[in-house]
Amino acid sequence: MLEKFYEYLQFEKRFSAHTLLSYRTDLDQFIAYSSASSYQDLANLKPIFIRGWIVQLMEDGYANKSVNRKLATLRTLFKWMRKEGITQENPMARVKGPKTEKRLPSFAREQELAPERTKHLFTHDFNGLRDELMLELFYQTGIRLSELIGLTIQDIQPNSIKVLGKRNKERIIPICTDLSRLIEQYLVQRILIAKSPRLFVLDNGKPLYPAFVYRRIHNMLGALTSLDKRSPHVLRHTFATHMLNNGAGLETLKAILGHASLAATQVYTHNSFAQLNQIYKHAHPRMNNR
């Protein structure tokens, strides 16, 4: 029933396979609740009906964040239906989701990821070099897990990497000399393993997959930090927080992270306030006199 809408998401909006799957799951659930069998059935739904679905979801134990994600899916659907002339009304315009608590991103401290602490984690063979490079790329560039897996050898330049982000948007991220040197060392070992265009491969030559990367990073961070969350995305948060703490501007950080809007980047300013507070205490003469 919704294949035309899914084609719009895939080919015009260029949503990832993971995002498309989430949309399908949410809409399958809503259609089962509404018993709609056509776009016109959906067009006839009233805001009070959708509010009833919200109540049902919350009674079923869904967290506020999950409910709001499902409502965002509906908003996209009804916006598209208006664009296509299927309906003149958008019931989502009068529907508000439950309030959600804003959680600050988890991040590691700078000293926890200092080279003298990370170096002892890795062997000098292919697997060790690959794992070290994964950790350093996540921490030094802030790329996403899917972006790391998608890197090709051609994306590597002496002073930068080219990243294909969400919705196939490319961005160039600068890298330091030490990271460039680590990539060169890894490539010397890698050439003996595989001829794949992908930068990262397993020791049998096959491309990396998300669960493998997640497991390796989880173990590394477990040896370095006391964080409860120990995922590749934590390293993305860590990169952003450390950049802001050391003087990077929000617009620069937005470009490096590949955020669509500045609002997504501004969440890191909350983490950086602690650093600003420390600087203030040490820099202002009144604070020094206390």
Q: Which of 70, 190, 230, 259 is catalytic?
A: 259
Q: Which of 24, 109, 166, 218 is catalytic?
A: 166
How confident is the model over 166-174, as a mean pLDDT?
89
pLDDT reading at 18 higher than 90: no
Q: What digits encode the pLDDT tens for the residues 55-104?
A: 999 999 999 989 999 999 999 999 999 999 998 888 999 899 988 766 66
Active site annotation includes 99: no
Q: Which helix (H) or strand (E) holds 180?
A: helix 177-190
Residue 287 confidence (pLDDT): 59
Q: Which among 122, 155, 142 is positioned nearest to 265, based on CA atoms?
A: 142
- Asked if 66 contacts 232 with a C-beta cutoff of 8 angstroms, the reply is no
Residue 283 confidence (pLDDT): 65
Name which of 164-173, 220-229, 265-274 the model is least confident about: 265-274
Q: What digits encode the pLDDT tens for the residues 145-156?
A: 999 999 999 999
Q: What digits encode the pLDDT tens for the residues 48-61?
A: 999 999 999 999 99
Name which of 33-47, 92-106, 183-197, 268-282 the model is least confident about: 268-282
Pick the residue with more confidence: 111 or 268? 111
pLDDT reading at 6 higher than 90: yes
Q: Which of 24, 75, 144, 171 is catalytic?
A: 144
Give all strands of the β-sheet with 160-164 in edge-to-edge order.
156-157, 160-164, 170-174
Residue 192 confidence (pLDDT): 87
Token pair 């009833």 in the structure block, residue: 52
Q: Tokens representing 240?
A: 């952003």
pLDDT reading at 277 higher than 70: no
Q: Which helix (H) or strand (E) holds 164?
A: strand 160-164
- Asked if 97 contacts 111 with a C-beta cutoff of 8 angstroms, the reply is no
Task: Give me the chain's average pLDDT, please.
Answer: 89
Model confidence, pTM: 0.66
Helical axes 210-224 vs 232-245, angle rounded to 10°: 50
How confident is the model over 266-280, as a mean pLDDT?
65
Active site annotation includes 282: no
Distance CA(127)–CA(148), nearest Å, equals: 16
Residue 279 confidence (pLDDT): 59
Q: What digits encode the pLDDT tens for the residues 197-229?
A: 999 999 999 999 999 999 999 999 999 999 989
Q: Which of 51, 109, 171, 233 is catalytic?
A: 233
How confident is the model over 122-148, as a mean pLDDT?
95
Active site annotation includes 166: yes
The identity of residue 233, as a single letter, is H
- Asked if 98 contacts 54 with a C-beta cutoff of 8 angstroms, the reply is yes
Pairing of strands 160-164, 156-157: antiparallel
Active site annotation includes 167: no
Domains of the chain: 3-94 (1.10.150.130), 110-281 (1.10.443.10)
- Asked if 117 contacts 45 with a C-beta cutoff of 8 angstroms, the reply is no
Residue 261 confidence (pLDDT): 84
Distance CA(136)–CA(115), nearest Å, equals: 10
Q: Tokens representing 152?
A: 């090709």
Q: Which of 70, 130, 190, 236 is catalytic?
A: 236
Active site annotation includes 236: yes
Q: What digits encode the pLDDT tens for the residues 104-115?
A: 678 899 999 999
Residue 201 confidence (pLDDT): 95
Distance CA(160)–CA(164), nearest Å, equals: 13
Token pair 């508000």 in the structure block, residue: 96
Distance CA(60)–CA(184), nearest Å, equals: 52
Tell me, what DSSP letter sits at residue 160?
Answer: E
Distance CA(105)–CA(232), nearest Å, equals: 12
Distance CA(257)–CA(176), nearest Å, equals: 17
* Backbone phi and psi for residue 193, each to the nearest 5 degrees, phi listed first: -100, -45
Active site annotation includes 124: no
